[in-house]
Structures are given as C-alpha cells and as structure tokens.
Amino acid sequence: MNDLHKAIGDISSIRRQMARSTEFRGYGPATLAGTAAFAVIAAGVQSFLVSDPTSRIGAYLTIWIWTALLSAALIGAQMHTRTRRIHSGLADEMIRMAVEQFLPSAVAGFFVTIVLVRFVSSAQWMLPGLWQIIFSLGVFSSCRFLPRPILAAGAWYLFTGLMCIALGGTRALSPWAMGVPFGAGQLLVAGILLFTAGEAEDEN
C-alpha cells in the first residue's frame, strides 16, 4: 500500500512539474476582449449615474466591484472549458496553477479596499490606482507560464496605476481612470494571446 501511495505521489509530482513547464492557453482572447468592453460600459454607467463619486463612494464601489466579479466569472467559466479542451489531461493542474498565481493579488485588493473604505476615507481616491497596481502584480506573477509579451500588460497596469495616484483627489475617481486602463489593458492582453497563439500554430 505504501508503494502505491508513493507511486501516486510521484505521478502527481510529475504532472505538477509538467504543468509548470507548459505554457497556459486557458485564457481566450475573445473573452478578455469582452472584459475590456465591461470596463468601458462600467465607466459609461458611472459617468451617467455617479457624477460625484467622492460623496457616493458606495455607488462607485458597487459599479466596479460588480464589473470585476462579472469579468472574473466570465474568464473563469471560459478558462475551465478551454483548459479542458486544450490541456486535456493536465487541465486540473493548469487551472489550479492559474488561480494560485492571481489569488494573492485578488485577496490583497479585497482587503486594501475594505481598509480604505472603513478606516481611511480620506484616502479612498487612491483605490483605482491601487487596484491597477495590485492587478499588475497578478499579471507579473502569471508571466512565468504565459507568453513573455504579457509583461507589457503588467507594465501597462503598473504605469496607469501610478498615473492614477499621481492625479490625486477626485480626478482619480473619474470613470475613465478605470475605464481606459482596464479597457485598453484587457485588449492588449487579448491581442498578445491572439498573436502568440497564431505563432504557436505556425510553428506546429
């Protein structure tokens, strides 16, 4: 029985090692382009419904948190089906690895939001910039199993996050301080994945 458990453990270890050395192709370009559209739509909704986000921070947060949740749900659902189709036998390991790369940044963003909203209301204007910086860390963390040009997307989110903080005050809560960075950023990721997928097919 011990030999059986050891063999199973060795197989699991080999599968994890194979997953780490395999480029993850579970993110679909069309889906990521769809999340870019979500960001632009959310910015339009904010500009129409929340003209003064500093006095209606709850409404501001509702718009962008729901946008993030819908985007994550769309990406997660498509990633599940696409990974099982492309990576077949390694699907579970690949999905687990993808989630593990982004989960710390998502948790950090969640707690940063709670702390600023509940305890440091004067610094709430920093939220868009901090969200983008934290998201960039998730992108950078994922780069080791995604196409190398994805580094450009991480750099984009880091740059736009710093620019949002540099704006300061109410300008940082402008709808387009979120709509433009995430709209353009997700389109950039979608374009990179589409281009690199085409290159991979050409090589095959």
For the stretch 19-28, pLDDT in tens is: 555 667 778 8
In a domain, 18, yes or no: no
157 pLDDT higher than 90: yes
Say what angle helices 150-167 and 127-142 make with each other, to 10 degrees.
160
175 pLDDT higher than 90: yes
Q: What is the pLDDT of residue 171?
A: 83
Residue entry with tokens 């997953």:
19
Radius of gyration of the chain measured on its C-alpha atoms: 19
Q: Is 56 helix (H, G, I), strand (E, B) or coil?
A: coil
Dihedral through CA 90, CA 95, CA 97, CA 101, nearest 10? 160
* Burial of 173 from C-beta contacts in 10 A (0-12 / 13-18 / 19+): buried
For the stretch 25-57, pLDDT in tens is: 778 899 999 999 999 999 999 999 998 998 899
In a domain, 138, yes or no: yes
In a domain, 21, yes or no: no
Cα 170 to Cα 127, 130, 177, distances in angstroms: 11, 15, 11
Question: Which amino acid belongs to residue 52?
Answer: D
203 pLDDT higher than 50: no
Question: Tell me, what DSSP letter sits at residue 50?
Answer: -
For the stretch 4-15, pLDDT in tens is: 444 444 445 544
Give the end-to-end CA distance of the chain in Å, rounded to a whole number. Answer: 42
61 pLDDT higher than 90: yes
Q: What is the pLDDT of residue 144?
A: 79
In a domain, 98, yes or no: yes
200 pLDDT higher than 70: no
1 pLDDT higher than 70: no
**What tokens appear for 26 in the block?**
């579970």
In a domain, 42, yes or no: yes
Range in 8-22, 30-44, 98-112, 153-167 the model is least confident about? 8-22
Q: How far apart are CA 170 and CA 60, in angstroms?
A: 12
**What tokens appear for 198 in the block?**
């085409």
Q: Is 144 helix (H, G, I), strand (E, B) or coil?
A: helix
Per the structure, how many domains does the chain have?
A: 1
The answer to whether the CB of 41 falls within 8 A of the CB of 113 is no
In the predicted model, what is the mean pLDDT of the chain? Answer: 85
Confidence bin at 109 (pLDDT 50/70/90): very high
- Percent of the chain surpassing pLDDT 70: 83
Length of the chain measured in residues: 204
Question: Tell me, what DSSP letter sits at residue 111?
Answer: H
In a domain, 8, yes or no: no
In a domain, 15, yes or no: no
Rounded to two decimals, the pTM is 0.85
In a domain, 201, yes or no: no
Q: Which domain holds residue 174?
A: 27-195
